[in-house]
Amino acid sequence: MIDIHSHILPGVDDGAKTEEDSLDMARAAVAQGITTIIATPHHKNRKYDNDAQSILNHVDILNELFTKENIGLKVLAGQETRINGDMIEDIEKGELLSLNGSKYLFVEFPSGQVPRYATQMLFDIQVAGYTPIIVHPERNQELIEHPAKLYEFVKKGALTQVTAASLVGKFGKNIQKFSNQLIESNLTHFIASDAHNTNSRGFVMDEAFQQIKHAYGSDYHYMFLENSELLVENSNVNRMEPGMIKKKKFLGLF
């Protein structure tokens, strides 16, 4: 299994604090059946800045550590960038890091809202040759209240990634319900851990995939697994025609 979103690099953001924390996370990931993990530290979220070269250096160090400790987990480089007006300039300067050097680029929205310029920025990212992946849309208040906005983003070429913990209810029943509605409406394309530690923000990938298999069948289960593999290979991922989520389904969510 491949996990495309994690905060396993030590001491760079609100994820692992020390190398020992990273080792604990790596062992937990392997226990979940994860063999490859993309390290995606926060970047330009007003608290953390992690430029491309520093991430690549940290990934090399962590891979050497895991080899030394005989942990069968391969770490790849990525970045979780908060949407901002300088993204295209930063892409041109080589300061933004796509996922494993692929055409796929993580884009994070603020938790409470979607910036007005998001539509244009997502378009500009695609013009620059990258496919934006909106991370954890199920935890964005504005998208929950106005799911048609996410539909439009996906319809126009963006992809999305839902957090495994959201699917299994770790963020509450409302977010769990929204996560499932995103799957039902073909509005998400990846399931990833967004793991920060082994306690409050763990992996739960195995549990999430078992739940998907039970609720939606083997086709969806394998599609999500395969999409992560296709991303790492820089291949085109599986996409199904997105469907609108009816507003009435959200009455009483928040």
CB 245 within 8 A of CB 187: yes
Question: How high is the pLDDT of residue 253?
Answer: 43
Question: How high is the pLDDT of residue 249?
Answer: 45
Question: How high is the pLDDT of residue 251?
Answer: 38
Domain positions in the chain are: 2-250
Whole-structure pTM value? 0.95
- Angstrom CA distances, 18 to 31, 141, 253, stand at 20, 32, 38
Question: How high is the pLDDT of residue 221?
Answer: 97
Question: How high is the pLDDT of residue 33?
Answer: 97
2-250 CATH pick, 3.20.20.140, 3.30.70.100, 3.40.50.300, 3.40.1010.10: 3.20.20.140
Question: How high is the pLDDT of residue 173?
Answer: 96
Question: How high is the pLDDT of residue 190?
Answer: 98
What pLDDT digit, counting tens, does each position of 241-250 carry? 999 986 544 4
Closest CA to 117 of 87, 93, 95, 138: 87
Work out the end-to-end distance of the chain between its first and last CA atoms, rounded to an integer number of angstroms. Answer: 34
Tokens linked to 34: 């994860």
Geometric angle at alpha carbon 128, from 190 and 229, rounded to 5°: 25
Question: How high is the pLDDT of residue 247?
Answer: 53
Question: How high is the pLDDT of residue 248?
Answer: 45
**pLDDT less than 70: residues of the chain:** 246-254
Tokens linked to 86: 């300088």
DSSP output for the chain: -EEEEE--STTSSSS--SHHHHHHHHHHHHHTT--EEEE--EESSSS----HHHHHHHHHHHHHHHHHTT---EEEE--EEEP-TTHHHHHHHT-S--GGGSSEEEEE--SS---TTHHHHHHHHHHTT-EEEEE-GGG-HHHHH-HHHHHHHHHTT-EEEEEHHHHTTTT-HHHHHHHHHHHHTT---EEE--B--SSTT---HHHHHHHHHHHH-HHHHHHHHHHHHHHHTTPPPP-----PPPGGGGTT--
In whole angstroms, what is the distance from residue 183 CA to residue 72 CA?
31
Question: How high is the pLDDT of residue 159?
Answer: 98
The separation between CA 253 and the C-alpha centre of its own chain, rounded to angstroms, equals 23
